[in-house]
Chain A
């Protein structure tokens, strides 16, 4: 029990919270045809996080957030410059900027010595939710002990904060988000700016990327931004149902994926380990595959 509280619970919390925040905003990225922007965001914030860490020598939430937002802002200005001023084709501009910034982040990580102290390239690429531990837990009573809870890994609070902000804004702006997602032209006629709402979606995606990246790695965040919303889209036409279903699939992927990663090697009796972040992402992909083959709303709406 104590080992569950110390090792499995914090990893489960980190994995499922990241899955939820990414899936929530992923719904709107998908509907505005910007799923690959979620992927780009996961790459772009890396140099921001590394530079912020080098300057402030701290992994405090506000340091990471500031660095990541500065990087996201810089990247979008650079993409705009290449597109508007220089006339580079949009997807090429995006591709050039996000690969170059990820390259810069990797080199800074390798050269600055940050890699050996805090996080390294493998953790960023593969995920490292197993490193979230809660040594202060001494029993079930710790769950109600403020001192012990304060010693939960900092990623948990960071992800909880991100999920709260994203959920709050999605609930407040749900009507606007729905109109802009499905009918941007109509949105403009009733005085809702698709550009403003689009910018808010991108900013929330950046927030989700920041709180998830150092906690779970880029792969879990990209998978969760696209797979649960796509799965839910195969099952319903109603946006509210779709969002709720996507959260359910994200939660199920987190729990099932972590359980498989921990229990499968034990069950087989081999001394192997499965990376939990990768396993969770694969489970989300399998859900999507099943929904694409058998979901009631899988085909195009025109045929249905």
Chain B
């Protein structure tokens, strides 16, 4: 019972300034992944996003090693973000190269890039564990995420990046919607489909890198997949769907951050993902546009109207 009251206090932002900043940062991140996720799903990038997320691990490790070699703290965010962005881009290029230059199908390309990059990261991490520099434990949070012990400056940085990603989506909303829902029409009317596809991929890469610290690279792809899938049950309209998806992403991340603020030993990523999945199941049943309940009522009404 006390735990429940504690969680409630945190949810209502009564848990101190730092926790509040971190939770709002997480919510901003969730909103960004929810927004970008809509277009990533429509362009069928779910599995590529998973591979790219796992491929950030060697980048995180290289960022750590570079930072230590240059005399900085191994945990300094700019190095880790730059490293993870580098290997994320590299992995996306590798998938593209395999699909266009060999006869392996896309599924095989994605799975092999995911496995090889992640394995390389694992090997580099085991090397780092035995280096005598200290601070290695801090890298663990990039696997499954953690909001406990997050710095205020980190939260603000992540929130700012999330805001930029959401703003880019808003700026190109019409073009992205058109390309995603009706590629042929967009191409016929001279929209640069390839450029917009690259923009979607770039946004996916950006939110993955931003989300590593909070959700972790193993599960970040869930925040791109689940909110749009859930939002689909509440509306048939593209712009409303994007907004609902952003709200679901934000709510999941906010709630997950709150729960792990009460229990600091709990990794944040899994909590966020389970919350999002619970919202998906509720949406499947009770969604106002395509939920099972609505559809069951709708099919009962239809024959009466026909007769």
List B contacts of A106 (CB < 8 A): 144, 267, 270
Question: Does any Cβ of A come within 8 Å of B206's Cβ?
Answer: no
With known contacts A103-B274, A104-B274, A95–B50 Cβ distance under 8 A: yes
List B contacts of A110 (CB < 8 A): 265-267
- A to B contact number (C-beta, < 8 Å): 194
A13-21, A65-73, A185-193, A277-285: which lies at the interface: A277-285
Question: Does any Cβ of B come within 8 Å of A86's Cβ?
Answer: yes
With known contacts A273-B126, A275-B122, A121–B144 Cβ distance under 8 A: yes
- Contact A92 B229, beta carbon cutoff 8 Å: yes
- Contact A281 B116, beta carbon cutoff 8 Å: yes
Cα-based distance from A278 to B101 in the complex (angstroms):
27
List A contacts of B131 (CB < 8 A): 272
- Contact A230 B232, beta carbon cutoff 8 Å: no
- Contact B292 A278, beta carbon cutoff 8 Å: no
- Contact A95 B123, beta carbon cutoff 8 Å: no
Q: Which of B103, B105, B129 contacts A297 (CB under 8 A)? A: B103
Question: Does any Cβ of A come within 8 Å of B228's Cβ?
Answer: yes
- Contact B102 A107, beta carbon cutoff 8 Å: no
- Number of residues in B with C-beta < 8 Å to the partner? 57
Question: Does any Cβ of A come within 8 Å of B68's Cβ?
Answer: no
Cα-based distance from A157 to B130 in the complex (angstroms):
32
List A contacts of B122 (CB < 8 A): 125-127, 219, 275, 277-278, 281
- Contact A282 B105, beta carbon cutoff 8 Å: no
Cα-based distance from A279 to B120 in the complex (angstroms):
7
B100 nearest CB across to chain A (Å): 10
- Contact B292 A85, beta carbon cutoff 8 Å: yes
B103 nearest CB across to chain A (Å): 5
Q: Which of B107, B112, B226 contacts A33 (CB under 8 A)? A: B107
- Contact B101 A39, beta carbon cutoff 8 Å: no
List B contacts of A103 (CB < 8 A): 219, 222, 269-271, 273-274, 277
Cα-based distance from A281 to B121 in the complex (angstroms):
11
- Number of residues in A with C-beta < 8 Å to the partner? 63
Question: Does any Cβ of B come within 8 Å of A274's Cβ?
Answer: yes
Instruction: List residues of B (96-140) whose CB comes within 8 Å of A's CBs.
Output: 98, 101-105, 107-108, 110-112, 114-116, 118-123, 125-127, 129-131
Identify the closest chain A residue to B263 (Cβ).
A111
A147-155, A173-181, A221-229: which lies at the interface: A221-229
The 0/1 profile, CB within 8 Å of A marked 1, for residues 122-163 of chain B is: 110111011100000000000110000000000000000000
A138 nearest CB across to chain B (Å): 30
Q: Which of A38, A125, A300 contacts B103 (CB under 8 A)? A: A300
Question: Does any Cβ of B come within 8 Å of A214's Cβ?
Answer: no
B2-10, B40-48, B177-185: which lies at the interface: B40-48
- Contact B119 A95, beta carbon cutoff 8 Å: no
Q: Which of A30, A99, A299 contacts B225 (CB under 8 A)? A: A99
Question: Does any Cβ of A come within 8 Å of B212's Cβ?
Answer: no
With known contacts A107-B270, A110-B267, A96–B127 Cβ distance under 8 A: no
- Contact A35 B107, beta carbon cutoff 8 Å: yes
List B contacts of A35 (CB < 8 A): 107-108, 110-112
Identify the closest chain A residue to B58 (Cβ).
A282
Chain A to chain B contacts (Cβ below 8 Å), 25 pairs: A33-B107, A36-B47, A38-B111, A82-B284, A88-B284, A96-B226, A96-B277, A126-B126, A219-B115, A219-B122, A222-B111, A222-B118, A226-B111, A272-B127, A274-B126, A275-B122, A278-B121, A278-B122, A279-B123, A282-B116, A282-B119, A285-B119, A285-B120, A292-B102, A298-B103
Residues of A with Cβ closer than 8 Å to B?
A: 30, 33-36, 38-39, 82, 85-89, 91-93, 95-96, 99-100, 102-104, 106-107, 110-111, 121, 125-127, 219-220, 222-223, 225-227, 229-230, 233-234, 271-275, 277-279, 281-282, 284-286, 288-289, 292, 297-301
Having A35-B110, A103-B274, A111-B266, one finds 4 other A-B pairs with CB under 8 Å, namely A39-B50, A92-B225, A279-B123, A298-B102
Closest 10 CB pairs of A and B: A285-B116, A281-B119, A278-B122, A103-B270, A99-B222, A223-B115, A275-B126, A100-B277, A35-B111, A103-B273
